[in-house]
């Protein structure tokens, strides 16, 4: 009997160890880029770095095809603007599941673990426009997954921004009053289906948006501005934010709800405080903290199930409405080269292999021309290309008027795959074979291993057309 008990204890211990190992550092793979590497190259990059979990913001067919047979655990996303349709029609949800989940979950296919229903749909700035669609959409999608015999393997989640809850102290955390009812419904749904609560936490944004926020409290290196909350002391904003959520969940009866960090990271450019050094210190501190299994004061020894770093690459076509830093969150630059030393628990980051670059040449302002008429060309170039590094706080800020023009010209030129005509600018541009980079300001050379040059692609397949027809019909019936 004693031997059986010992065996049982060993078996349970092994199971617990397996559960701990399953907690991991994943990455967000966003694709709103100007220069895209092929999905197969990106998948190889993930595998070379032993990154086993990846979060997507849609179900891009090219990306999903690249993930086939990779064994990587995938979270696919549904954009917010599809929630209304999916909440109103099981035909639409059946169709979405069929085309974006079932078709890939075949032998040798994609290991889809989660479907993210919307992305931060309760964000304050959305003024509630998606709020009423979330739970009905999840209900329809859950039914569709069940019909496809996938409900056991694929879990629905809703990535929430940390502004869904509030408090002056972590232990007093509550959900925003206007969200309490719907969040309670959502969490009840998640709990009944074995799904975690997914939250995005950004200490950088707290620092960026509040001049009084203590800088050292945003990191994991210790602080002179610790927050004391009864018996608990918080030395970093991440733990304080996470425990605020845990307290808010407890107040609606779900204090033990599993939590996944859907997005967390630090940008490297585009704002004061957004730089390589700060990003390295934050991300390395975060990884060390999470992998230590220390947990938080309200959940000691229980770290988040998984943490998805934001993000894998810079995304030069993203909106800069939140700030110019929005295009510079990548731990890798657009060409798959690591920006700074970082160990995710498997050794230093490895760069992408076999990246095919365009020829090493650049477009710059012609030094023999009067650049007084270059302003319009500068604006046009930057309306297509990414020039956010030229702004205050950016790595190229302060390189002078001529430098700014050259940077804009080159960014556009590389975006156009170095088409000779794209460096004309009415005779104000010229091609050079001398790298014009200045200090930390890097003049890029584009990659050539993808067929598109703009980063914007329309997937005019029948599923997209049919969903649009369904949406139009729904609006008509309303």
326-360 tens-digit pLDDT:
999 999 999 999 999 999 999 999 999 999 999 99
Considering the domain architecture, whether residues 264 and 378 belong to the same structural domain is answered as: no
pLDDT confidence of residue 451: 40
Residue 377 lies in a domain: yes
Considering the domain architecture, whether residues 313 and 399 belong to the same structural domain is answered as: no
Asked whether the predicted pLDDT for residue 468 surpasses 70, the reply is no
pLDDT-derived band at 469 (thresholds 50, 70, 90) equals very low
Asked whether the predicted pLDDT for residue 206 surpasses 80, the reply is yes
pLDDT confidence of residue 466: 52
Mean pLDDT of 260-289: 97
Residue 114 lies in a domain: yes
Asked whether the predicted pLDDT for residue 402 surpasses 80, the reply is yes
pLDDT confidence of residue 231: 97
pLDDT-derived band at 272 (thresholds 50, 70, 90) equals very high
Considering the domain architecture, whether residues 392 and 258 belong to the same structural domain is answered as: no
Domain housing 423: 362-432
The SS3 call for residue 343 is strand
Considering the domain architecture, whether residues 36 and 140 belong to the same structural domain is answered as: yes
Give how many domains the chain has, as a whole number. Answer: 2
Considering the domain architecture, whether residues 374 and 255 belong to the same structural domain is answered as: no
Catalytic residue numbers, as ranges: 120, 263
Mean pLDDT of 76-93: 98
- Tokens 């104000």 identify what position? 428
Considering the domain architecture, whether residues 253 and 376 belong to the same structural domain is answered as: no
The SS3 call for residue 460 is coil
Asked whether the predicted pLDDT for residue 98 surpasses 60, the reply is yes
CA atoms within 13 A on the CB side of 240: 23
Asked whether the predicted pLDDT for residue 48 surpasses 70, the reply is yes
Residue 476 lies in a domain: no
Asked whether the predicted pLDDT for residue 322 surpasses 60, the reply is yes
pLDDT confidence of residue 193: 97
For residue 150, give the CATH number of its domain. 3.20.20.80
Mean pLDDT of 361-377: 96
Q: Which of 192, 170, 193 is nearest to 251 (CA)?
A: 170
Considering the domain architecture, whether residues 306 and 417 belong to the same structural domain is answered as: no
Considering the domain architecture, whether residues 306 and 401 belong to the same structural domain is answered as: no
Q: Kindly state the DSSP code that residue 43 receives in the 8-state scheme.
A: H
Mean pLDDT of 130-147: 98
| Buried residues in 422-447 as b, exposed as e (16+ CB within 10 A) | bbebeebbbbbeeebebeebbbbbbb
Asked whether the predicted pLDDT for residue 271 surpasses 70, the reply is yes
Mean pLDDT of 431-444: 97
Considering the domain architecture, whether residues 117 and 213 belong to the same structural domain is answered as: yes
pLDDT confidence of residue 470: 54
Asked whether the predicted pLDDT for residue 454 surpasses 80, the reply is no
Residue 452 lies in a domain: no
Asked whether the predicted pLDDT for residue 372 surpasses 50, the reply is yes
End-to-end CA distance of the chain: 68
Considering the domain architecture, whether residues 285 and 389 belong to the same structural domain is answered as: no
Which has more confidence, 469 or 71? 71
Tell me the C-alpha distance between 80 and 129, whole Å. 10
Residue 321 lies in a domain: yes
Considering the domain architecture, whether residues 91 and 218 belong to the same structural domain is answered as: yes
pLDDT confidence of residue 478: 53
Mean pLDDT of 361-375: 96
Residue 340 lies in a domain: no
How much is the mean pLDDT over the chain? 91
- Tokens 């014009």 identify what position? 436
Residue 240 lies in a domain: yes
pLDDT-derived band at 448 (thresholds 50, 70, 90) equals confident
Portion of the chain with pLDDT greater than 70, in percent: 89
Least confident interval from 137-146, 362-371, 452-461: 452-461
Mean pLDDT of 26-42: 95
Mean pLDDT of 459-475: 45
- Residues 6 or more apart whose Cβ sits within 8 Å of residue 380: 412
């Amino acid at each position: 009997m004693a031997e059986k008990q010992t065996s049982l204890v060993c078996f349970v211990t092994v199971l617990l160890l397996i559960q701990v190992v399953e907690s991991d550092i994943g990455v967000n793979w966003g694709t709103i880029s100007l220069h895209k590497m092929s999905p197969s190259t990106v998948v190889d990059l993930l595998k070379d770095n032993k990154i086993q979990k990846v979060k997507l913001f849609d179900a891009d067919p090219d990306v999903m095809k690249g993930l086939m047979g990779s064994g990587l655990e995938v979270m696919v996303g549904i954009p917010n603007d599809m929630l209304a349709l999916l909440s109103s029609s099981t035909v639409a949800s059946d169709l979405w599941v069929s085309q974006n989940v079932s078709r890939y979950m075949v032998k040798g296919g994609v290991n889809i673990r989660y479907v993210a229903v919307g992305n931060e749909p309760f964000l304050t700035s959305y003024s509630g426009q998606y709020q009423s669609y979330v739970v009905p959409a999840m209900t329809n999608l859950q039914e569709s997954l069940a019909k496809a015999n996938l409900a056991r393997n694929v879990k629905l989640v809703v990535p929430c921004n940390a502004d869904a809850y509030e408090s002056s102290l972590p232990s007093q955390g509550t959900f925003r009053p206007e969200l309490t009812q719907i969040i309670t419904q959502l969490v009840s749904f998640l709990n009944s289906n074995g799904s975690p609560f997914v939250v995005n936490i950004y200490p950088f944004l707290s620092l960026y948006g509040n001049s009084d926020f203590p800088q050292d409290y945003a990191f994991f290196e210790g602080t002179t501005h610790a927050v004391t909350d009864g018996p608990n002391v918080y030395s970093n904003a991440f733990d304080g934010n996470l425990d605020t959520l845990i307290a808010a969940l407890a107040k609606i009866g779900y204090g033990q709800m599993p939590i996944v960090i859907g997005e967390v990271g630090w940008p490297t450019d585009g704002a004061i405080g957004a730089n390589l050094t700060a990003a390295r210190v934050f991300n390395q501190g975060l990884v060390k903290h999470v992998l230590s299994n220390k947990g938080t004061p309200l959940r000691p020894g229980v770290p988040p199930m998984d943490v998805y770093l934001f993000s894998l690459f810079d995304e030069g076509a993203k909106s800069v409405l939140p700030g110019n830093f929005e295009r510079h969150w990548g731990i890798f630059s657009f060409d798959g080269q690591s920006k700074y030393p970082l160990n995710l628990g498997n050794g230093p980051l490895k760069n992408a292999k076999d990246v095919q670059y365009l020829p090493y040449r650049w477009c710059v302002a012609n030094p023999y021309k009067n650049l007084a008429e270059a302003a319009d060309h500068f604006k046009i170039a930057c309306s297509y290309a990414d020039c956010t590094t030229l702004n205050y706080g950016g790595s190229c800020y302060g390189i002078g008027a001529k430098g700014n023009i050259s940077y804009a010209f080159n960014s556009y030129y590389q975006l156009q795959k170095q088409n000779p005509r794209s460096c004309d600018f009415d005779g104000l541009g010229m091609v050079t074979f001398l790298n014009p980079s200045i200090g930390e300001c890097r003049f890029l050379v584009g990659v050539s291993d993808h067929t598109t040059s703009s980063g914007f692609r329309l997937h005019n397949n029948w599923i997209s057309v049919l969903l649009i027809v369904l949406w139009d019909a729904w609006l008509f019936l309303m």
